[in-house]
Amino acid sequence: MLRDRATSAAEALTRRWVRRTMIARRQSPGRPKRVLILGAGGHGRVVLDILLQTGRHEVVGFLDNNADIHGRRIDGIPVLGCIDDLTPLAEEHEVEGVLIAIGDNGARRGLARRIDSAEIELINAVHPAAAMARNATLGRNVVIAAGVVVCAHCQIGDSVILNTGCIVDYQTMIGEGTHICPGVRIAGRVKVEPGVFVGIGATIIPKITLGCESIVGAGSVVIEDVPALGTVVGVPARRIKLAAATEDIAAMLLPARA
């Protein structure tokens, strides 16, 4: 009986010590945040590299819905389980933030909105070799790869990927859930609406609007506005797929943030 009481007192003391240590660790200034990367594909590896280079985050693991890679390590970081199990795994590993490294624009944007409402912090990954204007603004869950240049007064929305070496010139707006591929050059005052995909090496001249969920083919030069859901290719870029009817576009759009 006495021994039982002594054991439980020791256990309580240990638990208290662990709790105090955890709180102290959380409060120590400059300590890297513990984060998870959602998506362990090629883009996930790029994101891991960026986070390791910045040194501001401690990457605890990847989550990926491909069960075949659970338990494996990618560049030394374990794949801990399914994205669907984010909440319990985040609790178990004392995670403070996540970044969604999924290439598909719609999937990335939808998941980001679900996580946002679950109140887990969505972090950004900005490569130290990216050149960002002081007054450019960034949303959340943004990935900015090596060699990217973002000029003055640009606005970069949530869940945007600015991929390796792309250039976004002054006063350009990049909408939520867009992917700007490597080597793309976007001139000043361009409006890129949500969900757009701009293929590798494309060029967009000034003041163009790329409509919601439109696609610009690799290497294309866009000299006129692209309608929502349209696909354009070539130099100069020509439409190869007609935009869907307005009601189809409305159905594809995610509800606006409350």
Ligand X SMILES: CC(C)(COP(=O)(O)OP(=O)(O)OC[C@H]1O[C@@H](n2cnc3c(N)ncnc32)[C@H](O)[C@@H]1OP(=O)(O)O)[C@@H](O)C(=O)NCCC(=O)NCCS
244 is a contact residue toward ligand X (CB under 6 A): no
231 is a contact residue toward ligand X (CB under 6 A): yes
- DSSP assignment of 2-28 equals HHHHHHHHHHHHHHHHHHHHHHHHHHS
- Span from 1-9, 137-145, 226-234, 247-255 in contact with ligand X (CB under 6 A): 226-234
Judged by CB under 6 A, which of 240, 242, 253, 254 binds ligand X? 240
The distance of closest approach from Cβ of residue 95 to ligand X in the complex, given in angstroms and rounded to an integer, is 28
204 is a contact residue toward ligand X (CB under 6 A): no
Q: Which of 59, 92, 95, 94 is nearest to 77 (CA)?
A: 59
CA dist 27 and 102 (Å) reads 31
Give burial (CB, 10 Å; 0-12/13-18/19+) of 57.
buried
253 is a contact residue toward ligand X (CB under 6 A): no
181 is a contact residue toward ligand X (CB under 6 A): yes
- Span from 2-10, 23-31, 124-132, 216-224 in contact with ligand X (CB under 6 A): 216-224
> Bridge partners of 57?
33
Residue at 183: amino acid letter: G
229 is a contact residue toward ligand X (CB under 6 A): no
233 is a contact residue toward ligand X (CB under 6 A): yes
CA dist 9 and 16 (Å) reads 11
Judged by CB under 6 A, which of 199, 208, 214, 243 binds ligand X? 199
DSSP 256: P
Residues 6+ apart with CB under 8 A from 44: 37, 38, 62, 64, 74, 101
The distance of closest approach from Cβ of residue 70 to ligand X in the complex, given in angstroms and rounded to an integer, is 26
Nearer to ligand X, 90 or 237 (CB): 237
What are the backbone angles phi and psi of residue 204, rounded to the nearest 5°?
-120, 125
219 is a contact residue toward ligand X (CB under 6 A): yes
Q: Which residues bind ligand X (CB under 6 A)?
A: 163, 181-182, 199-200, 215, 217-220, 231, 233-234, 240
